[in-house]
Structure 1
Amino acid sequence: MQGYPLKAGERRAIPLGNTLLPEYLQKLGYATHLVGKWHTGYYSDYHTPAYRGFDTFMGYYTGYVTYFNHTIEQDFG
C-alpha cells in the first residue's frame, strides 16, 4: 500500500490473505486496540480494524480527516 491515502469508499485495501501484526498478537492472547486513522481500506466489513486483529477501534477510516476540527480535506475532482 503505497501512494496517496485512500479516498472514501475506494476499493483498495490490504489483501485479506495478509495477516497483520495485531492478528498474530490476538492469537497469543494480547488485547489489541487502535486509536487514530485507519487508511488501509474499509470497503467491506472484513477490511475494517475489527476484522483485522483489533479488539477496539476509535478513529477515522481515511487519512484526510483532521484531528483538530474533524473535517475532511479531500479533492473529489
Structure 2
Amino acid sequence: MKTSLLAGASALLLGACAMTPAALPETEALNRVAAQSGPYRALGYQSPFAGFEPHAPTGPASWRAVNDAQTEG
C-alpha cells in the first residue's frame, strides 16, 4: 500500500515539474491550405433513394403459378 502511494505521489510530483507544453499551431494557416482555390468542379448532391420503387406486400399465390412464372422458356 505504501509503495503504490509513494509511486503515485512521485508521478504527480514529476508531472508538476515537467516543462510547459508547446503552444498550439496556428489554425488560420490550416484553413488557408484547405480553402478551395482552383479549377475544381462542384459535386452535386444525389439522394441515396433516387430510383427507389416501393413494393407493397401481396397476398399468397398458388405455388404452381409462381413456379411456372419462374421457369425459363
Higher helix share: 2
Q: Which has the larger radius of gyration?
A: 2
Does TM, normalized by the shorter one, top 0.5? no
TM normalised by structure 2 equals 0.15
Higher strand share: 1
Q: Higher relative contact order at CA 8 Å, sep ≥6: structure 1 or structure 2? A: 1
TM normalised by structure 1 equals 0.15
